[in-house]
Amino acid sequence: MLRVEKLSTEYPNEYGQIVKAAQDVTFEVPEGKLFTLLGPSGCGKTTTLRSIAGLERPRVGEIAVGGQVVYSSSKNIFIAPNRRGFGMVFQSYAIWPHMNVFQNAAFPLEVRSKRRSRKEIEEQVMRVLRAVALDHLADREATKLSGGQQQRLALARALVMQPPLLLLDEPLSNLDAKLRERMRFELKRLQRELKLTTVYVTHDQSEALALSHEIAVMSEGHIIQIGSPRDIYERPRNKFVADFVGTTNFLDGVITAIEAEEGYCRVRTEVGELKAYAADTPRVGKKVALSIRPEDIELSEERQEGVNVWQGTVDAKVFLGEYLDFQVKLKERLLLARVHPSLKTPVGKPIYLRMNPEKCIAIEEPAASTSAENAPVAAVAPKVQSYAG
Ligand SMILES: Nc1ncnc2c1ncn2[C@@H]1O[C@H](COP(=O)(O)OP(=O)(O)O)[C@@H](O)[C@H]1O
Ligand SMILES: [Mg+2]
């Protein structure tokens, strides 16, 4: 198990200011689980990972793996990176140019486990090379591989030792879309099979949702929500998470009543009233932002029974193969609905929207994000996919 507690890592920048790259970062990864740090560029993912590896020295905090403390500011412990024995693949991976693919993958085994037989080593190496789809290139010189193949080789080399902790920093970022998806499956299978305790870093939300047992969403050095992929997607705790993980519609509103059913309330918005689910305890008069995912808006030409039914007008449509995106106009607002391509309602015609209250998430305003004073100086504001109309 990995335990990271109240970790803060800072850098001085070129103007002599302090960049608070990771702040008060706390999480645990149970044995054999894959935990993802997800967030936009500059939010502190790599810094956190490098701090765990021992490549950065945090200002404060504590890090322990399997009960052994590898860093502690209060106990004045700092174990050197090479003595932590973690497997790592970073964005800038390095392969050994004077060796072929097999030798590259076998090297860590050969230096660390002298007692192993040739045959054992060969079996283990070929197994990881198969997993990263490089087995057919075992004899090729490592320098004659493409960027993506080199990245997979770096991954194979980290996996072959079955380390107590595997640290992966955007390990699939150099691959083309098709290969990336395939490697995603392979990586997931391998991680589950070998039960490797893994910290995975990515800015790609679909990668995080597909691979992880648990996700921590980071913004400006802080973890702002930790949860299962489903939790993060269906129960975002604030606007940043709702917007960064997936596409969503936001509607500003005010809570007008509390429903008898626990967690539910009524929200008045600029386009109508809705029954919604509140992430935090609802209170009449509280300002909220409603987050409704495009796939959670049902469309139909006939008025449907039940709560949360509104009438709008079809404003535009985009055909995307497996589904159709409808832009629906309600008063002055546009909402995005993702529906089955069989719906043929023409542009300009009326249409009914129905939204399951469980999928209308009332998020407290303002976003429970971080204060500006703590923001890293060089933080890049992400351009995230959103549909605020
Ligand atoms: N060596 C460094 N010196 C100064 N600032 C750094 C250094 N490394 C990272 N930073 C800054 O720390 C913040 C977090 O960076 P990083 O951890 O690399 O983010 P991410 O991996 O999420 O993109 C950014 O503002 C970045 O500019
Ligand atoms: Mg990074």
- List of residues 6+ apart from 276 with CB closer than 8 A: 264, 265, 266, 267, 288, 290, 357, 360, 361, 362
We report the CATH number of the domain holding residue 137 as: 3.40.50.300
Measured CA distances, 172 to 41, 150, 294, 364 (Å): 16, 11, 28, 35
Q: From 9, 19, 200, give the residue whose CB has the most ligand 1 atoms within 8 Å, as the site to mutate.
A: 19
| 92 within domain boundaries | yes
Spatial distance between the Cα atoms of 286 and 263, rounded to a whole number of angstroms: 14
| Ligand 1 neighbour 19 (Cβ under 6 A) | yes
Residue 346 is predicted with a pLDDT of 95
Q: Are residues 155 and 264 in the same domain?
A: no
Range of the domain at 69: 2-234
CB distance 38 to 218 below 8 Å: yes
* Of 211, 234, 257, the domain-final residue: 234
Q: From 15, 46, 52, 370, give the residue whose CB has the most ligand 1 atoms within 8 Å, as the site to mutate.
A: 46
The residues that bridge with 89 in the sheet, in sequence order, are 168
Atom 26 (ligand 1): residue with closest C-alpha? 42
Residue 16 is predicted with a pLDDT of 86
Q: What ligand is nearest to the CA atom of residue 92?
A: 2
Q: Are residues 253 and 220 in the same domain?
A: no
* Of 234, 257, 274, the domain-final residue: 234
| 142 within domain boundaries | yes
Q: What ligand is nearest to the CA atom of residue 218?
A: 1
Q: Are residues 212 and 273 in the same domain?
A: no
| 372 within domain boundaries | no
**CB neighbourhood size of 77 (10 A):** 14
Atom 5 (ligand 1): residue with closest C-alpha? 11
We report the CATH number of the domain holding residue 352 as: 2.40.50.100
Q: Are residues 120 and 188 in the same domain?
A: yes
How many domains would you assign to the chain? 2
- Residues found in the chain: 389
| Ligand 1 neighbour 17 (Cβ under 6 A) | no
Assigned token pair, 1: 């198990």
Q: Are residues 8 and 152 in the same domain?
A: yes
| 218 within domain boundaries | yes
Q: Are residues 94 and 145 in the same domain?
A: yes
| Ligand 1 neighbour 41 (Cβ under 6 A) | yes
Q: Are residues 333 and 223 in the same domain?
A: no
Write out the chain's pLDDT in tens, 389 residues. Answer: 999 999 999 999 888 899 999 999 999 999 999 999 999 999 999 999 999 999 999 999 999 999 899 999 999 999 999 899 898 887 666 778 888 999 888 887 877 666 778 888 899 899 889 888 899 999 999 889 887 788 889 889 988 888 999 999 998 887 888 888 888 888 898 889 889 999 999 999 999 999 999 999 999 999 999 999 999 999 999 899 999 998 999 999 999 999 999 999 999 999 999 999 997 888 999 999 999 999 999 999 999 888 999 999 999 999 888 899 999 999 989 999 999 999 999 999 999 999 999 999 999 876 444 444 344 443 333 333 444 43
Q: Are residues 228 and 272 in the same domain?
A: no
